[in-house]
Amino acid sequence: MLELKAYAKVNLTLEVLGKRDDGYHDIVSIMQTVGLSDTVTLEEADGTTLDCDVPELSGPDNLALKAAQLIAHETGGGKGVAIGLQKGIPVTAGLGGGSSDAAAVLRGLNRLWKLGLSVHELQALGAKLGSDVPFFIQGGTAMAQGRGEAIRPMPKADVNWMVVLTPNIDVSAKTASLYGKLGRNDFTKGMLTRKLEARIRGGGDVPAQFLFNTFDAIAFGAFPGLEKCWKTFESVGAREVHLAGSGPSMFALVSQREVGSAMALLLTHSYGWKASLVEAVWPSEDV
């Protein structure tokens, strides 16, 4: 049996360049895995099943289950696996939990079944499941382009601690809804992302003012109640707050662990929101 961590992510930058002919949007983004995680267990079995500690996520649409079915079909293995999933990442929150679970299953079954697939081959499979899945095959710091599936690894970004706040806000068909609210004036040319990329590749730090997310500009209109959460986050000391992915989670870098810990505790105990102090992580598991 294998046990793997499936880490969450934040987008240090996320720029939307424009709409594509296939209905998707071209983006450019610098993504970073962080210490929030799900736990995925894999054990060979006669059939393929998924058991999640959040029962409503155990159905056939779960990306972890689809990942197992896809890799079995594509490699001709025809093997079964019992997948266990313990959720630690908030669901549909912009943190990539489902995509990370799928990537963990692909990586894990590559090892469990001794398939010998390369990182590139696993990423190609992941792209069939979702735009964020290829990033999670390796995680760490990386540039994402295209609809998010074209991944270019980067040196470690000089980021340490951050506070992630996930309000209890649910929007139906969230990602499609947010992209649908973008107008031409919201599209950029990717220069902010490339500026930060050059800084990271040159060994520089990551100043908070270099962070950017296109969806920040439409967030309050897209998520009822988000403005209150955002302003409260700022009132307890957060600077340069940004959405994680398409939200509603938001994050802010903090200079010291103690400062971030106090901020997260205050948001959790005084306001009843999901807030965590997390550290940037660079997973080391082999594919």
What per-residue confidence (pLDDT) applies to 64?
98
pLDDT in tens, 61-120: 999 999 999 999 999 876 899 999 999 999 989 999 999 999 999 999 999 999 999 999
- In this structure, the answer to whether residues 46 and 131 fall within a common structural domain is yes
- Residue 281, token pair as written in the block: 């992580």
- In this structure, the answer to whether residues 115 and 9 fall within a common structural domain is yes
Q: Please report, for residues 55, 103, 205, 209, the alpha-carbon distance to residue 134 in angstroms, rounded to integers and kept in the order given.
A: 26, 7, 26, 28
Instruction: Name the residues annotated as catalytic.
Output: 9, 132
**Angle subtended by helix axes 119-127 and 97-112, to nearest 10:** 140
Mean pLDDT over each residue of the chain, to the nearest integer: 95
Task: State the average pLDDT over residues 44-55.
Answer: 94
- In this structure, the answer to whether residues 148 and 196 fall within a common structural domain is no
In a domain, 245, yes or no: yes
- In this structure, the answer to whether residues 13 and 44 fall within a common structural domain is yes
- pTM > 0.75: yes or no: yes
pLDDT confidence bin for 244, thresholds 50/70/90: very high
Which CATH number belongs to the domain containing residue 256 in this structure? 3.30.70.890
Task: State the average pLDDT over residues 231-251.
Answer: 96
Task: State the average pLDDT over residues 11-18.
Answer: 97
- In this structure, the answer to whether residues 188 and 215 fall within a common structural domain is yes
d(CA 113, CA 4): 15
- In this structure, the answer to whether residues 143 and 106 fall within a common structural domain is yes
What per-residue confidence (pLDDT) applies to 164?
98
Which CATH number belongs to the domain containing residue 77 in this structure? 3.30.230.10
Nearest to 221 by CA among 260, 261, 248: 248
In a domain, 137, yes or no: yes
In a domain, 133, yes or no: yes
- In this structure, the answer to whether residues 196 and 221 fall within a common structural domain is yes
In a domain, 116, yes or no: yes
In a domain, 39, yes or no: yes
Task: State the average pLDDT over residues 252-263.
Answer: 95
- In this structure, the answer to whether residues 219 and 267 fall within a common structural domain is yes
pLDDT in tens, 133-185: 999 999 999 999 999 999 999 999 999 999 999 998 988 889 889 999 999 99
- In this structure, the answer to whether residues 140 and 231 fall within a common structural domain is no
Domain boundary among 122, 153, 184: 153
Domain count, the chain: 2
- In this structure, the answer to whether residues 19 and 131 fall within a common structural domain is yes
**Contact indicator for 34, 135 with CB cutoff of 8 Å:** no
- In this structure, the answer to whether residues 104 and 192 fall within a common structural domain is no
Domain region containing 73 = 2-153
Task: State the average pLDDT over residues 271-278.
Answer: 94
Domain boundary among 153, 177, 192: 153
CA angle at residue 34 from 69 to 137, to 5 degrees? 30
What per-residue confidence (pLDDT) applies to 171?
82
What per-residue confidence (pLDDT) applies to 287?
66
Burial of 114 (0-12, 13-18, 19+ CB in 10 A): exposed
What per-residue confidence (pLDDT) applies to 286?
61
**Residue with tokens 């102090």, as numbered in its chain:** 277
- In this structure, the answer to whether residues 173 and 132 fall within a common structural domain is no
pLDDT confidence bin for 226, thresholds 50/70/90: very high
In a domain, 287, yes or no: no
Domain boundary among 118, 135, 153: 153
Task: State the average pLDDT over residues 46-58.
Answer: 94
In a domain, 284, yes or no: no
In a domain, 57, yes or no: yes
